[in-house]
Amino acid sequence: MDSSLPHIIESADCGGSTKPKDRLISLLDQIEVHVEQLRKDAWKLEEERDTLLTTLDTLKNNEILSGLEETDRDDVLKYAERLSMRCLTVDVLVKIQRDQIQEEALHQVNGLIDGLIVGLREDPIGTRQRCASFMSACSSQGLGTSDKNFETVILGCTIDDQKQIKKRLQGLLDYIDKMHTIQLL
């Protein structure tokens, strides 16, 4: 990101032919570009932190742990927990303005996704299919069968929330596929 922020020239006469309002609007346009870049950078940091937490959680629930001796398993779990707690010390927040309906829709979507995560251990194949149907509901291309209930609920969310939900679902699909690959080895 370019760190050179626009500066306000306090002199009323800037030697140019542009009106003061036009200069201010131009300055605001430049600031808007920086604000949007800041939001994108914060989203990336938040995604990176969430990916690390998901990876650590996956490791803590991995079947490979059950094959370890108890002391080794405890060592690995303590190490993973320490890293999780350290990762949670990083707090990145990009606030999204929502009305009450959008808040409720997001809450419903999160509940449906949480249901996927809970069902993952019992039925990984069914969970993957359901997750794929949620992803399809997020896409205008109509890839595969989409979950109509999920589609209805996600349409009540903000555009920013929809983008985040789609990334979250893609991450979950990638995780399921990665876990399936590990189990095949």
Q: pLDDT tens digits, residue range 137-175?
A: 988 776 778 899 999 999 999 999 999 999 899 988 988
Residue range 44-58, pLDDT digits in tens: 998 899 889 888 887
* Domain-ending residue, one of 58, 89, 120: 89
- Answer yes or no: is 13 within a domain: no
* Domain-ending residue, one of 67, 89, 111: 89
Half-sphere exposure of 25 (CA within 13 A, CB side): 5
Inter-residue contact 52 to 82 (CB < 8 Å): no
Residue 156's CB is within 10 A of a number of other CB atoms, namely: 17
- 164's CB contacts (< 8 A; 6+ apart) are 43
Structural domains in the chain (count): 2
Predicted confidence (pLDDT) at residue 123 exceeds the cutoff of 60: yes
* Best CA proximity match to 143, nearest among 131, 152, 153: 131
- Answer yes or no: is 10 within a domain: no
Inter-residue contact 131 to 180 (CB < 8 Å): no
What is the average pLDDT across 61-70?
86
Q: What is the mean pLDDT of the chain?
A: 87
- Answer yes or no: is 14 within a domain: no
Q: Which residue has the higher pLDDT, 176 or 179?
A: 176
Predicted confidence (pLDDT) at residue 94 exceeds the cutoff of 70: yes
Same domain, 27 and 84: yes
Predicted confidence (pLDDT) at residue 122 exceeds the cutoff of 90: no
Residue 48: domain span: 20-89
Same domain, 72 and 141: no
Which domain CATH number covers 115? 1.20.58.890
- Answer yes or no: is 6 within a domain: no
